[in-house]
Homo-oligomer: A and B are copies of this chain.
Amino acid sequence: MPGSPIQNPGFAYSQRCNPVSTVPTGSPLEICMPTEPTGRRPGRPRAGTPRLTGEDTAAEILDAAAELFTTEGFGSVTTRRLAEAAGIRQATMYHYFPNKKAILHRLLLATVEHSLDLARELLDGVTDGSALQATGMLRQLARQDAELLFSDTWNVASLYSTPEVNDRSFTEFHQLRAELRAAYTELGRRVLGADDPLLLEVPFHIVESVVTLRSTLTITPDDVGRLTDAVAEAAVSVLRR
């Protein structure tokens, strides 16, 4: 509609919470919920609190970074703000990580490493080659992967689409994520008993839909189990038709 003005009803949406309009049947739906993560550790030390061990300090930096990057955006967060949030000096932060990208890289690696360990184990294991066994393996992988994505306090995987992640600093992450994707397609191929490169990609992406689901809804720990089951079953169902 060229030339038509764009309507601005005059209120702003927050990044992660959009009011839902009423559906035509007249049933009002309100699924706009605050997206406060459920697993946030209370009492994180702030600036001035002395740190004890290096491992703790690194964990604090990563936790503070995960919170700030996912709520304010990677590009908007300065290392100064990050150090403040972690309760340490900037110089201390640089002792653990060379730069902000290295912190994000470490966070991203954590979103795939655990699932990849299982994927390697499944692919390496003794196998009878049956589609049934392969289905069980694919379900197991999808379930663990979905659970990991659901359980992450800060939904770090939502940062996958951050433009900076295309930088070569993130090569290792891209390689591991690609290996995980390849494991899904290899297990899927055994389920299907045939090659179908595009269809075999679908389960992996269905599992990753957890990331956008979490961006719009608050998931409590009690919900994770059945949502994990639902998503994992949907992923597997694609190959059993």
- Where the two chains meet, the residues of A that have a C-beta atom closer than 8 Å to any C-beta of B are 1-3, 5-15, 18-25, 27, 29, 31, 54-55, 57-58, 73, 95-98, 101-102, 105-106, 120, 123-124, 161, 163, 166-172, 174-175, 177-179, 181-183, 185-186, 197-199, 201-202, 205-206, 208-210, 212-213, 216-217, 219, 223, 226-227, 230-231, 233-235, 237-238, 241
- B13 & A120 in contact (Cβ 8 Å cutoff): no
When chains A and B are docked, how far (Å) is the Cα of A185 from the Cα of B10? 27
Instruction: Please report the C-alpha to C-alpha distance between residue A233 and residue B240 in the assembled complex, in whole angstroms.
Output: 11
A123 lies within 8 A of B24 (CB): yes
Q: Which residues of B contact A102 (CB under 8 A)?
A: 6
Tell me which residues across on chain B come within 8 A of A124, comparing CB atoms: 24-25
Copies of this chain, tallied across the complex: 2
Given A29-B185, A166-B15, A238-B234; A98-B6 close (CB under 8 Å) = yes
A92 to chain B, nearest CB (A): 11
Sample of 8 A–B contacts (CB below 8 Å): A1-B58, A2-B57, A15-B166, A18-B177, A23-B179, A31-B185, A198-B217, A205-B212
Name which residue of chain B comes closest to A167, CB basis.
B12
